[in-house]
């Protein structure tokens, strides 16, 4: 690991990670890529017949030329219901390979067994997202290499720009034909969009489709085109679609959170954003604010041109009601979302390329009116954290969070404290967003508007909403909770870095020593 | 122009064309590309707002940095109804630029006015397709550079492989939003698929969408993703959709051609291909054989998994009847095709990448059961010509013809002679297909099966069809017509080359001196 130097957001970041040089964060929109896109090898039809099936994942990995030190990518559309990642690494371990860089688009609690492969050195490090137990393992400095955290759009950007070279892309697909044309809307394991897998299909040298539902050619729609696929392997079961529904995709019943959701809806209307497009996540507050906003839309007689998913029953209902023109969906958070994507032509699957890639000629995120997101910490400069907690532990992935900050109006919404830990802090533990990206912070005890958004402050003049400064929010939190213990971190030992959407290094996650 | 050397199909081809080294044809499936794909520059969202509109094509060309010697690409979905190509070059001429390489996916009679820009040197040469008057102009050696003829799939392959570097891609789009998301199924100029434009969108450095129907974001479906588009220009009218219907897209009434069509249908059934997928072009014989084959399919109670378009009313009717599972469409040949593509989820738009790219991990063409195509000449080695006539004149583009030869059963069908010129010849004027790609030749006076397809000869034993040898067909034609005059060609002066689907040089078109 190289020396740490200060970047444009005041954080100490390494110039080299896992032996590769890094570009440090230079400010929002400041860094301009100069090179060409990554250029995968040119294949030839002469090497591909019409039937690409092989008998086992192991055979496919062999034919892909798997060897020590390679990088393997996979999508996370099955979320906590994935049945492929752990068997993949069990197979690689059996085959005797090690030092694999694993680049999933996200990980979930079900992937905890990967720790044995991290401990044994089968996996060298993880690029993409880490959470829960694996994040804790990484925070303790126990991963062989340094973790690299990227947003969903950043994963495409990194593969596109040649920063992340995926040797083998594995694509679990709920429906596929023998050519490898694949989608996520049909078959017993239907999970909705497969857009995250398009990164692997497009940029990996070798691509394996794993399916439990083989259909005759042509498999329509081919969200993953078979023209990008090397091998197809049939397995018994790739995922449990019911488990894509995590505990967070229900409307909150907490009075505090419902109050926050009402504030959000009122803020959107008073700020003039009612009837504009919006992004709603799967968190309880997000789901609730959409309901309140929908009531206001009905009352005002306006509809939104589109909503960005993750899709849920709640969004699908609004689409069917005609209150939104389209759902532009990145992933399904429940089975109503899956069904709607399959059957409703106004429910459109998007990929990280169309929605989130910053090294592109624009993307959908730029066109979103309002984005409502969570955070683990926000500081007095409106810088926000979404990956680590105030105790220093890396416990969450970035997801699409950084990418959606490009909305016209970005709102972070959360209770002022969680378990007596304030969310508003002096300085965030890890910077995942520069302060200028955050327009408003909404809590149950006050709403702080970023002073950079004087236009919003002007519009909200005379509002009944509890508009305060971020410093006031901080004071209130301190009064109620006191300051938490400072995290015990080894500030010379990075365990992971956080990339900004342009591939530059925004911050460093430092080691938290294990207690004796 | 460099020396000419013999390639694997026995033709003399140049090693260098327009200053660029060429790879000569080495046999079907023999050449393997070794390099990486073309890598366009990495753009940044920081340079793109949500509204990409400019006031004029001229302004867009200026902002794209147009200069002498650049390459401009465009699609041909409007066919003879295109209203953009001639104004494009009138504008470039006004701007004072010259030596442009023009790379359209096809040209039509309406583009004859380009000759003035070829004469003045605004256009240096054409890569893609030439026909009619422009083909004649080229054959006379009057084009500044050497023409390069490619198939539809070859155009994608060449751009993908870095052989054809498109500096500016122009995309006339029947429907677009201000981000550049575009499709061909909506708006007053709806023309059906826009798949050919995906080559330009994907590989050109700069991309301009021209539209006469601007809609609010998001324009769904976005067959051309706005993430690949630099500028959007509104113009009054981009095309006349009624003119995509050319004279060829009607079922023939000629008894000779109807007999050929009946032979085709009978051959398909007896060869065991009834109920397999098929490709039908827009020619009168193709349209007629589909009707006869459909009758046989109904009688046999079988349906085909899909048919490849160009789509016509005739294919759409079969789709609606349920006799084919899907139409996988590359271009609409009539307005019924446009409407069906818009409204029927089983009518799917394809691009040259999904259907025809040979430097891919497979494509749709490989999955087609039967392809029925025309030809201008076929010789005793079953080599076929589709671009020039026996008088040496280059008069047609390759289109998807070379690509569809990958079908399991490739049938060339035509009357034994046209205007007293035999189609079966000793040696084709220009080789567009090696003999091994052609399985069967069907004429009204006999059917010749390629001896390489002994399996077909075995199956057809005892058939009532007039199975003969290719030599017998040649003799019959000679008896009826006599041998035509040999073409007067300057065999040391290439005017164009014909590429095979893998980018290698298959044959040369030589100059025909102008008569005094």
Does the distance separating the beta carbons of A42 and B361 come in below 8 Å? no
What angle in degrees, to the nearest 10, is found between the helix axes of A335-343 and A313-321?
40
> Distances in Å between the alpha carbon of A324 and those of A332, A346, A470?
17, 10, 33
Rg (CA), chain A: 22
Joined together, the tokens standing for residue A449 give 């508007």
Does the distance separating the beta carbons of A361 and B229 come in below 8 Å? yes
pLDDT tens digit string along A10-50?
Answer: 999 999 999 999 999 999 999 999 999 999 999 999 999 99
Report H helices in B333-417.
335-343, 352-355, 401-404
Q: Which residue has the tokens 């309880």?
A: A284
**Is B180 within 8 Å of chain A by CB?**
yes
**Is B326 within 8 Å of chain A by CB?**
yes
Q: How far is B349 from chain A (nearest CA, A)?
A: 11
Q: How far is B274 from chain A (nearest CA, A)?
A: 17
Q: How far is B44 from chain A (nearest CA, A)?
A: 4
pLDDT tens digit string along B427-481?
Answer: 999 999 999 999 999 999 999 999 999 999 999 999 999 999 999 999 999 999 9
Q: Which residue has the tokens 């209130």?
A: A476
Tell me the C-alpha distance between A502 and A500, whole Å: 5
Report helix, strand or coil for A89: helix
B305: chain A residues, CB-CB within 8 Å? 216-218
What pLDDT shows up at residue B253?
Answer: 86
Of A410-414, B181-185, B284-288, B348-352, least confident by mean pLDDT is: B284-288
Q: How far is A212 from chain B (nearest CA, A)?
A: 21
Rg (CA), chain B: 22
Tell me the C-alpha distance between B342 and B221, whole Å: 9
What pLDDT shows up at residue A341?
Answer: 95
Q: How far is B398 from chain A (nearest CA, A)?
A: 20
- Of the partner residues A49, A218, A406, the one whose CB lies closest to the CB of residue B326: A218
- Of the partner residues B39, B361, B406, the one whose CB lies closest to the CB of residue A230: B361
A216: chain B residues, CB-CB within 8 Å? 305
pLDDT tens digit string along A211-264?
Answer: 999 999 999 999 999 999 999 999 999 999 888 876 556 778 899 999 999 999
What pLDDT shows up at residue B286?
Answer: 87
**Is B366 within 8 Å of chain A by CB?**
yes
Q: How confident is the model at residue A282 (pLDDT cuts 50, 70, 90)?
A: confident
Largest CA distance in chain B: 71
Does the distance separating the beta carbons of A406 and B45 come in below 8 Å? yes
Tell me the C-alpha distance between A48 and B462, whole Å: 36
- Of the partner residues A217, A328, A353, the one whose CB lies closest to the CB of residue B305: A217
**Is B109 within 8 Å of chain A by CB?**
no
Q: Which residue has the tokens 């079900």?
A: A110
Q: How confident is the model at residue B516 (pLDDT cuts 50, 70, 90)?
A: low
What pLDDT shows up at residue A270?
Answer: 98
Tell me, what DSSP letter sits at residue A272? Answer: T
A222: chain B residues, CB-CB within 8 Å? 354
**Is A63 within 8 Å of chain B by CB?**
no
Q: How far is A207 from chain B (nearest CA, A)?
A: 10
What pLDDT shows up at residue A486?
Answer: 85
- Of the partner residues A36, A216, A229, the one whose CB lies closest to the CB of residue B39: A36
Q: How far is A175 from chain B (nearest CA, A)?
A: 17
Task: Give the residues across from A147 on adjacent strands.
Answer: A496
Q: Smallest Cα–Cα separation from A52: which of A230, A307, A279, A290?
A: A230
pLDDT tens digit string along B384-421?
Answer: 999 999 999 999 999 999 999 999 999 999 999 998 89
Q: Residue B149 above 90 pLDDT? A: yes
pLDDT mean across residues, chain A: 95
What pLDDT shows up at residue B243?
Answer: 87
pLDDT mean across residues, chain B: 95
Whether the CA torsion B353, B354, B357, B358 is positive or negative: it is positive
Q: How far is A224 from chain B (nearest CA, A)?
A: 11
**Is B502 within 8 Å of chain A by CB?**
yes
Does the distance separating the beta carbons of B218 and A306 come in below 8 Å? yes
**Is A228 within 8 Å of chain B by CB?**
yes
Q: Higher confidence at residue A131 or residue B375?
A: B375
CB B403 within 8 A of CB B501: yes
Domains detected in chain B: 51-243+490-511 (3.40.1080.10), 255-481 (3.40.1080.10)
Does the distance separating the beta carbons of B34 and A36 come in below 8 Å? no
Best probe of the B interface among A40, A45, A48, by most B CBs < 10 A, is: A45
**Is B343 within 8 Å of chain A by CB?**
no
Task: Give the residues across from B417 on adjacent strands.
Answer: B422
> Distances in Å between the alpha carbon of A455 and those of A407, A409, A412, A450, A461?
15, 11, 18, 10, 10
Best probe of the A interface among B362, B406, B408, by most A CBs < 10 A, is: B362
A202: chain B residues, CB-CB within 8 Å? none
- Give every strand in the sheet of A424-425, ordered side by side: A384-385, A377-379, A424-425
- Of the partner residues A42, A179, A358, the one whose CB lies closest to the CB of residue B362: A179
Chain A CA closest to residue B207: A361
The B residues from 234 to 293 touching A (CB cutoff 8 Å) are none
Tell me the C-alpha distance between B315 and B143, whole Å: 39
Q: What are phi and psi of B129, to 5 degrees?
A: -145, 145
> In chain B, what percentage of residues exceed pLDDT 90?
91
Contacts of B282 (CB under 8 A, 6+ apart): B246, B248, B249, B310, B312, B333
pTM higher than 0.90 for the full model? yes
Q: How far is A278 from chain B (nearest CA, A)?
A: 13
**Which helix (H) or strand (E) element contains residue A320?**
helix A313-321
The B residues from 110 to 139 touching A (CB cutoff 8 Å) are none
Q: How far is B64 from chain A (nearest CA, A)?
A: 13
The A residues from 159 to 178 touching B (CB cutoff 8 Å) are 160-161
pLDDT tens digit string along B172-184?
Answer: 999 999 999 999 9
Chain A CA closest to residue B502: A44
Best probe of the A interface among B36, B42, B221, B326, by most A CBs < 10 A, is: B42
Does the distance separating the beta carbons of A362 and B45 come in below 8 Å? yes
What pLDDT shows up at residue A40?
Answer: 92
Q: Higher confidence at residue B214 or residue B280?
A: B214
CB A196 within 8 A of CB B322: no
What pLDDT shows up at residue A359?
Answer: 98
- Of the partner residues B226, B228, B366, the one whose CB lies closest to the CB of residue A50: B366
**Is B353 within 8 Å of chain A by CB?**
yes
Joined together, the tokens standing for residue B451 give 């001896």
Q: Which residue has the tokens 């992933």?
A: A331
3-state SS record for B54-85:
ECCHHHHHHHCCCCCCCEEEECCCCHHHECCH
**Is B431 within 8 Å of chain A by CB?**
no
Q: How far is CA A340 from the centre of its chain?
A: 22
Q: How far is B330 from chain A (nearest CA, A)?
A: 15
Give me the torsion for CA of A64, A69, A75, A80, rounded to 10°.
120
B41: how many CB neighbours lie within 10 A of its CB? 11
pLDDT tens digit string along A64-118?
Answer: 999 999 999 999 999 999 999 999 999 999 999 999 999 999 999 999 999 999 9
Chain B CA closest to residue A306: B218
Does the distance separating the beta carbons of B48 and A227 come in below 8 Å? no
CB A141 within 8 A of CB A205: no
Q: Are strands B123-128 and B20-21 parallel, antiparallel or unpaired?
A: unpaired
Contacts of A462 (CB under 8 A, 6+ apart): none
Please state the rounded mean pLDDT for residues B41-46: 97
Chain A CA closest to residue B153: A45
**Is B63 within 8 Å of chain A by CB?**
no
Tell me, what DSSP letter sits at residue A8? Answer: T
Chain A CA closest to residue B225: A354
- Of the partner residues A216, A222, A367, the one whose CB lies closest to the CB of residue B179: A367
Q: Residue B281 above 90 pLDDT? A: no
Does the distance separating the beta carbons of B35 and A227 come in below 8 Å? no
DSSP string, B175-211: EE-TT--EESSSSTT--S--TTHHHHHHH-SEEEEEE
Does the distance separating the beta carbons of A161 and B42 come in below 8 Å? yes
Q: Residue B248 above 80 pLDDT? A: no
Q: How far is B379 from chain A (nearest CA, A)?
A: 25
The B residues from 443 to 462 touching A (CB cutoff 8 Å) are none
pLDDT tens digit string along B302-327?
Answer: 999 999 988 999 999 999 999 999 99
Q: How far is CA A394 from the centre of its chain?
A: 15
Report H helices in A161-205.
197-203
């Amino acid at each position: 690991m190289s020396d740490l130097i200060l970047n444009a957001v005041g954080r100490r970041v390494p110039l080299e990670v896992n032996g590769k040089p890094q570009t440090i964060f230079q400010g929002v929109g400041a860094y301009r890529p100069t090179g060409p896109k990554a250029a995968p090898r040119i294949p030839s039809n002469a090497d591909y017949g019409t039937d690409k099936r092989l008998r086992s994942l192991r055979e496919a990995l062999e034919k892909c030329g798997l060897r020590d030190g390679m990088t393997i990518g996979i999508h996370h559309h099955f979320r906590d219901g994935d049945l492929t990642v752990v068997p993949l690494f069990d197979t690689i371990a059996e085959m005797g390979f090690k030092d694999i860089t694993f680049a999933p688009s996200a990980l979930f609690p079900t992937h905890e067994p990967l720790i044995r492969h991290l401990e044994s050195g089968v996996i060298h490090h993880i690029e993409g997202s880490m959470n829960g137990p694996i994040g804790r393992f990484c925070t303790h400095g126990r991963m062989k290499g340094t973790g690299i955290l990227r947003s969903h759009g950043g994963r495409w950007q990194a593969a596109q720009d040649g920063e992340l070279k995926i040797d083998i892309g594995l694509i679990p697909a709920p429906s596929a034909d023998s050519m490898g044309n694949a989608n996520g809307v049909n078959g017993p394991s239907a999970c909705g969009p497969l857009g995250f897998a398009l990164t692997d299909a497009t940029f990996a040298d070798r691509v394996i489709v794993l399916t439990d539902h083989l259909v005759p050619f042509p498999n329509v729609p081919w969200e993953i085109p078979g023209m990008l696929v090397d091998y197809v392997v049939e397995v018994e079961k790739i995922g449990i679609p019911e488990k894509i529904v995590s505990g967070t995709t229900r409307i909150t019943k907490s009075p505090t959170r419902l109050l926050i959701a009402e504030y959000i809806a009122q803020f959107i209307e008073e700020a003039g954003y009612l009837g504009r497009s919006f992004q709603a996540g799967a968190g309880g507050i997000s789901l609730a604010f959409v309901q309140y906003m929908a009531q206001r839309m009905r009352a005002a007689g306006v509809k939104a041109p589109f909503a960005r998913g993750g899709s849920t029953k709640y969004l699908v209902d609004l689409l069917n009601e005609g209150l939104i023109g389209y759902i532009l969906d990145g992933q399904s958070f429940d089975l109503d979302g899956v069904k709607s994507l399959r059957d409703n032509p106004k429910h459109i699957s998007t990929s990280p390329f169309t929605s989130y890639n910053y090294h592109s000629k624009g993307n959908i995120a730029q066109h979103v009116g309002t984005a409502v997101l969570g955070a683990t910490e926000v500081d007095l400069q409106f810088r926000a954290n979404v990956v680590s907690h105030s105790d220093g532990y890396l416990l969450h992935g970035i997801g699409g969070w950084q990418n959606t900050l490009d909305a016209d109006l970005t709102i972070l919404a959360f209770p002022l404290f969680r378990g007596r830990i304030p969310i508003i802090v002096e300085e965030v533990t890890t910077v995942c967003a520069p302060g200028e990206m955050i327009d408003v912070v909404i809590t149950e005890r006050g709403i702080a508007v970023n002073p950079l958004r004087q236009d919003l402050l002007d519009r909200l003049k005379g509002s009944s909403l509890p508009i305060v400064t971020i410093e006031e929010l901080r004071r209130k939190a301190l009064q109620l909770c006191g300051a938490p213990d400072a995290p015990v971190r080894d500030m010379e030992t990075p365990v992971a870095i956080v990339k900004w959407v342009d591939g530059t290094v925004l911050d460093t996650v430092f080691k938290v020593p294990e207690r004796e």
